[in-house]
Protein backbone atom coordinates (compact mmCIF):
# COMPACT_ATOMS: atom_id res chain seq x y z
CA UNK A 1 0.00 0.00 0.00
CA UNK A 2 1.31 3.44 -1.03
CA UNK A 3 0.48 6.99 -0.02
CA UNK A 4 -1.21 9.16 -2.62
CA UNK A 5 1.03 10.65 -5.30
CA UNK A 6 0.90 14.43 -4.93
CA UNK A 7 0.95 16.38 -8.20
CA UNK A 8 0.35 19.97 -7.12
CA UNK A 9 0.21 21.99 -3.91
CA UNK A 10 -1.04 25.46 -3.06
CA UNK A 11 -2.25 27.21 0.04
CA UNK A 12 -4.46 30.13 1.01
CA UNK A 13 -6.01 31.44 4.21
CA UNK A 14 -4.71 28.69 6.45
CA UNK A 15 -5.70 25.82 4.13
CA UNK A 16 -3.33 23.67 2.07
CA UNK A 17 -4.71 22.14 -1.15
CA UNK A 18 -2.89 19.11 -2.58
CA UNK A 19 -3.92 17.47 -5.85
CA UNK A 20 -3.13 13.78 -5.86
CA UNK A 21 -3.59 10.54 -7.74
CA UNK A 22 -4.09 7.02 -6.43
CA UNK A 23 -3.55 4.79 -9.44
CA UNK A 24 -5.49 6.58 -12.19
CA UNK A 25 -7.97 8.25 -9.79
CA UNK A 26 -7.46 12.01 -9.45
CA UNK A 27 -8.35 13.64 -6.15
CA UNK A 28 -7.67 16.59 -3.92
CA UNK A 29 -6.85 16.74 -0.21
CA UNK A 30 -7.39 19.90 1.84
CA UNK A 31 -5.64 20.19 5.20
CA UNK A 32 -4.95 22.82 7.84
CA UNK A 33 -1.76 24.77 7.09
CA UNK A 34 -0.80 24.05 10.67
CA UNK A 35 -0.55 20.36 9.71
CA UNK A 36 -3.77 18.87 11.09
CA UNK A 37 -1.84 16.19 12.91
CA UNK A 38 -4.02 13.07 13.04
CA UNK A 39 -7.17 15.16 12.73
CA UNK A 40 -10.41 13.54 11.50
CA UNK A 41 -10.77 13.01 7.74
CA UNK A 42 -13.98 13.70 5.81
CA UNK A 43 -14.48 12.06 2.41
CA UNK A 44 -16.67 14.24 0.20
CA UNK A 45 -18.69 13.07 -2.78
CA UNK A 46 -19.29 15.70 -5.45
CA UNK A 47 -22.61 16.24 -7.24
CA UNK A 48 -22.96 16.45 -11.00
CA UNK A 49 -19.66 18.12 -11.76
CA UNK A 50 -16.19 17.44 -10.36
CA UNK A 51 -13.86 17.36 -7.36
CA UNK A 52 -13.36 21.12 -7.20
CA UNK A 53 -16.95 22.24 -7.79
CA UNK A 54 -17.86 25.12 -5.44
CA UNK A 55 -19.89 22.85 -3.13
CA UNK A 56 -16.71 20.85 -2.46
CA UNK A 57 -14.32 23.78 -2.00
CA UNK A 58 -16.86 25.51 0.24
CA UNK A 59 -17.34 22.48 2.49
CA UNK A 60 -13.58 21.89 2.55
CA UNK A 61 -13.10 25.38 3.93
CA UNK A 62 -15.74 24.81 6.65
CA UNK A 63 -14.15 21.47 7.60
CA UNK A 64 -10.53 22.60 7.49
CA UNK A 65 -10.74 26.16 8.79
CA UNK A 66 -13.77 25.65 11.01
CA UNK A 67 -12.93 22.23 12.50
CA UNK A 68 -9.24 21.63 11.82
CA UNK A 69 -10.14 18.48 9.81
CA UNK A 70 -8.77 17.03 6.57
CA UNK A 71 -11.18 16.84 3.60
CA UNK A 72 -10.73 14.77 0.44
CA UNK A 73 -12.69 14.35 -2.78
CA UNK A 74 -12.07 12.30 -5.93
CA UNK A 75 -13.54 12.68 -9.39
CA UNK A 76 -16.32 10.15 -9.88
CA UNK A 77 -16.00 7.85 -12.91
CA UNK A 78 -16.65 9.85 -16.09
CA UNK A 79 -16.43 13.18 -14.22
CA UNK A 80 -13.87 15.98 -13.90
CA UNK A 81 -10.46 14.92 -15.18
CA UNK A 82 -11.52 11.34 -15.89
CA UNK A 83 -12.33 9.89 -19.32
CA UNK A 84 -15.94 9.42 -20.35
CA UNK A 85 -17.01 6.15 -21.90
CA UNK A 86 -19.60 5.87 -24.63
CA UNK A 87 -21.97 4.55 -21.94
CA UNK A 88 -21.36 7.72 -19.88
CA UNK A 89 -22.10 9.87 -22.92
CA UNK A 90 -25.38 8.06 -23.57
CA UNK A 91 -26.50 8.36 -19.93
CA UNK A 92 -25.60 12.06 -19.78
CA UNK A 93 -27.43 12.79 -23.03
CA UNK A 94 -30.52 10.91 -21.81
CA UNK A 95 -30.60 12.75 -18.52
CA UNK A 96 -30.22 16.15 -20.20
CA UNK A 97 -33.03 15.24 -22.58
CA UNK A 98 -35.28 14.33 -19.64
CA UNK A 99 -34.48 17.63 -17.92
CA UNK A 100 -35.19 19.56 -21.10
CA UNK A 101 -38.53 17.89 -21.76
CA UNK A 102 -39.62 17.65 -18.11
CA UNK A 103 -39.79 13.84 -18.22
CA UNK A 104 -39.10 12.07 -14.89
CA UNK A 105 -35.35 11.78 -14.44
CA UNK A 106 -35.39 8.94 -11.91
CA UNK A 107 -35.60 6.11 -14.47
CA UNK A 108 -32.45 7.47 -16.14
CA UNK A 109 -30.43 8.86 -13.22
CA UNK A 110 -30.99 5.92 -10.85
CA UNK A 111 -29.37 3.19 -13.00
CA UNK A 112 -26.71 5.61 -14.29
CA UNK A 113 -25.63 6.58 -10.77
CA UNK A 114 -25.86 2.97 -9.54
CA UNK A 115 -23.41 1.96 -12.28
CA UNK A 116 -21.01 4.75 -11.25
CA UNK A 117 -21.33 3.77 -7.58
CA UNK A 118 -20.34 0.20 -8.33
CA UNK A 119 -17.09 1.50 -9.84
CA UNK A 120 -16.56 4.24 -7.27
CA UNK A 121 -16.87 2.28 -4.01
CA UNK A 122 -13.65 0.23 -4.48
CA UNK A 123 -11.94 3.38 -5.78
CA UNK A 124 -12.83 5.26 -2.59
CA UNK A 125 -11.64 2.35 -0.47
CA UNK A 126 -8.24 2.37 -2.24
CA UNK A 127 -8.02 6.15 -1.82
CA UNK A 128 -8.89 5.89 1.89
CA UNK A 129 -6.20 3.20 2.29
CA UNK A 130 -3.69 5.54 0.65
CA UNK A 131 -4.71 8.66 2.60
CA UNK A 132 -4.41 6.74 5.87
CA UNK A 133 -0.74 6.07 4.99
CA UNK A 134 -0.07 9.79 5.45
CA UNK A 135 1.34 10.45 8.92
CA UNK A 136 -0.87 13.53 9.36
CA UNK A 137 -4.00 11.32 8.90
CA UNK A 138 -3.03 7.87 10.17
CA UNK A 139 -4.83 4.54 10.07
CA UNK A 140 -6.85 4.85 13.24
CA UNK A 141 -8.40 8.32 13.03
CA UNK A 142 -12.12 9.06 12.66
CA UNK A 143 -13.51 9.17 9.11
CA UNK A 144 -16.77 10.76 7.95
CA UNK A 145 -18.53 11.17 4.61
CA UNK A 146 -20.58 13.97 3.07
CA UNK A 147 -22.21 14.23 -0.34
CA UNK A 148 -25.55 15.04 -2.02
CA UNK A 149 -27.05 13.79 -5.28
CA UNK A 150 -24.44 11.61 -7.01
CA UNK A 151 -22.49 11.97 -3.77
CA UNK A 152 -25.31 10.06 -2.06
CA UNK A 153 -25.67 7.45 -4.80
CA UNK A 154 -22.00 6.62 -4.20
CA UNK A 155 -21.99 7.41 -0.48
CA UNK A 156 -24.73 5.02 0.64
CA UNK A 157 -23.04 1.87 -0.71
CA UNK A 158 -19.63 3.21 0.38
CA UNK A 159 -20.77 3.81 3.97
CA UNK A 160 -22.47 0.40 4.04
CA UNK A 161 -19.28 -1.29 2.81
CA UNK A 162 -16.74 0.66 4.83
CA UNK A 163 -16.61 0.26 8.62
CA UNK A 164 -14.00 3.02 8.92
CA UNK A 165 -16.72 5.61 8.13
CA UNK A 166 -18.57 6.43 11.36
CA UNK A 167 -20.91 9.30 10.36
CA UNK A 168 -22.39 10.50 7.06
CA UNK A 169 -24.31 13.52 5.76
CA UNK A 170 -26.19 12.83 2.53
CA UNK A 171 -29.48 13.33 0.69
CA UNK A 172 -31.11 14.53 -2.51
CA UNK A 173 -31.45 11.20 -4.28
CA UNK A 174 -34.03 8.63 -5.29
CA UNK A 175 -34.43 5.55 -3.06
CA UNK A 176 -34.83 2.94 -5.78
CA UNK A 177 -31.28 1.57 -5.95
CA UNK A 178 -30.34 2.55 -2.39
CA UNK A 179 -33.07 1.41 0.02
CA UNK A 180 -31.79 -2.12 0.59
CA UNK A 181 -28.25 -0.85 1.16
CA UNK A 182 -29.44 1.91 3.49
CA UNK A 183 -31.10 -0.73 5.67
CA UNK A 184 -27.63 -2.06 6.52
CA UNK A 185 -26.32 1.32 7.66
CA UNK A 186 -26.29 1.95 11.40
CA UNK A 187 -23.90 4.91 11.82
CA UNK A 188 -25.33 8.40 12.52
CA UNK A 189 -26.87 9.94 9.39
CA UNK A 190 -27.94 13.46 8.50
CA UNK A 191 -30.15 13.47 5.40
CA UNK A 192 -31.24 16.46 3.30
CA UNK A 193 -34.25 16.77 1.01
CA UNK A 194 -36.10 19.61 -0.67
CA UNK A 195 -39.77 19.61 0.33
CA UNK A 196 -40.97 20.85 -3.07
CA UNK A 197 -38.40 19.03 -5.20
CA UNK A 198 -39.62 18.92 -8.80
CA UNK A 199 -37.15 16.14 -9.69
CA UNK A 200 -37.26 13.76 -6.71
CA UNK A 201 -40.80 13.10 -5.40
CA UNK A 202 -41.34 13.94 -1.72
CA UNK A 203 -42.38 10.38 -0.88
CA UNK A 204 -39.22 9.04 -2.53
CA UNK A 205 -36.98 11.16 -0.30
CA UNK A 206 -38.94 10.24 2.83
CA UNK A 207 -38.68 6.55 1.90
CA UNK A 208 -34.90 6.70 1.56
CA UNK A 209 -34.51 8.48 4.91
CA UNK A 210 -36.84 5.93 6.49
CA UNK A 211 -34.69 3.04 5.27
CA UNK A 212 -31.53 3.84 7.26
CA UNK A 213 -31.19 1.54 10.27
CA UNK A 214 -29.26 4.18 12.22
CA UNK A 215 -30.38 4.83 15.76
CA UNK A 216 -29.35 8.44 15.29
CA UNK A 217 -30.62 9.90 12.04
CA UNK A 218 -31.90 13.39 11.24
CA UNK A 219 -33.93 14.45 8.24
CA UNK A 220 -33.63 18.08 7.17
CA UNK A 221 -36.38 19.03 4.74
CA UNK A 222 -36.36 22.58 3.43
CA UNK A 223 -39.06 24.42 1.52
CA UNK A 224 -38.23 24.92 -2.14
CA UNK A 225 -37.28 23.15 -5.32
CA UNK A 226 -34.19 21.05 -6.07
CA UNK A 227 -31.80 23.93 -6.63
CA UNK A 228 -33.23 26.00 -3.77
CA UNK A 229 -31.26 23.78 -1.33
CA UNK A 230 -30.13 26.32 1.29
CA UNK A 231 -26.45 26.81 1.94
CA UNK A 232 -26.94 26.86 5.71
CA UNK A 233 -27.38 23.08 5.43
CA UNK A 234 -23.68 22.87 4.54
CA UNK A 235 -22.88 24.44 7.93
CA UNK A 236 -25.24 22.03 9.66
CA UNK A 237 -23.69 19.02 7.95
CA UNK A 238 -20.24 20.17 9.04
CA UNK A 239 -21.41 20.65 12.63
CA UNK A 240 -22.99 17.19 12.56
CA UNK A 241 -19.74 15.62 11.34
CA UNK A 242 -17.69 17.60 13.84
CA UNK A 243 -19.92 16.42 16.69
CA UNK A 244 -19.49 12.76 15.79
CA UNK A 245 -15.92 12.68 14.58
CA UNK A 246 -14.43 14.71 17.40
CA UNK A 247 -16.36 12.64 19.93
CA UNK A 248 -15.14 9.44 18.28
CA UNK A 249 -11.55 10.50 17.86
CA UNK A 250 -8.51 11.40 19.82
CA UNK A 251 -7.72 14.65 18.03
CA UNK A 252 -9.89 17.75 17.86
CA UNK A 253 -9.66 21.26 16.53
- Binding of a second copy by 225 (CB under 8 A): no
CB of 148 to a second copy, least distance (A): 16
- Binding of a second copy by 236 (CB under 8 A): yes
What is d(CA 161, CA 43) in angstroms, rounded to the nearest whole number? 14
Helices (H), 75-217: 86-101, 106-131, 150-161, 179-182, 202-211
- Binding of a second copy by 231 (CB under 8 A): no
Among 1, 86, 100, 223, binds a second copy (CB under 8 A): 223
Among 216, 225, 247, 250, binds a second copy (CB under 8 A): 216
- Binding of a second copy by 132 (CB under 8 A): no
Query: What are the residues whose beta carbons fall under 8 Å from the beta carbon of 82, sequence distance 6 or more?
Result: 24, 25, 26, 75, 76
What is d(CA 253, CA 241) in angstroms, rounded to the nearest whole number? 13
- Binding of a second copy by 244 (CB under 8 A): no
Q: Which helix (H) or strand (E) holds 170?
A: strand 165-171
Query: What are the residues whose beta carbons fall under 8 Å from the beta carbon of 109, sequence distance 6 or more?
Result: 95, 174
| Number of residues forming the site for a second copy (CB under 8 A) | 19
Of 47 and 230, the one with the shorter C-beta distance to a second copy is 230
Of 30 and 209, the one with the shorter C-beta distance to a second copy is 209
248 CA to centre of own chain: 20
Of 88 and 210, the one with the shorter C-beta distance to a second copy is 210
CB of 179 to a second copy, least distance (A): 16
Query: Which of the ranges 2-10, 132-140, 161-169, 209-217 carries the binding residues for a second copy, by CB under 8 A?
Result: 209-217
- Binding of a second copy by 217 (CB under 8 A): yes
CB of 90 to a second copy, least distance (A): 37
Return the bridge partners of 21, or none. Answer: 5, 26
* Residue closest to 128 by CA, chosen among 45, 61, 249: 45
Helices 54-61/232-248 angle, 10° precision: 50
Among 9, 90, 139, 195, binds a second copy (CB under 8 A): 195
- Binding of a second copy by 218 (CB under 8 A): yes
Report yes or no: 51 and 27 within 8 Å, Cβ to Cβ. Answer: yes
What is d(CA 176, CA 173) in angstroms, rounded to the nearest whole number? 9
Among 144, 214, 229, 249, binds a second copy (CB under 8 A): 214
CB of 240 to a second copy, least distance (A): 9
Residues within the interface to a second copy (CB under 8 A): 195, 206, 209-210, 214-224, 230, 232, 236, 243
Amino acid sequence: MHSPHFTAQSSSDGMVERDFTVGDIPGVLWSPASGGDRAPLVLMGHGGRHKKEPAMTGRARLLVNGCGFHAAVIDAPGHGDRPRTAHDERDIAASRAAQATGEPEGPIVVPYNARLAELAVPEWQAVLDALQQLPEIGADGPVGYTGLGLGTAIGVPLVAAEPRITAAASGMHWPDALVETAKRITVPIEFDMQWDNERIPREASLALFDAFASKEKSLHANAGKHFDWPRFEADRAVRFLARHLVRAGTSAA
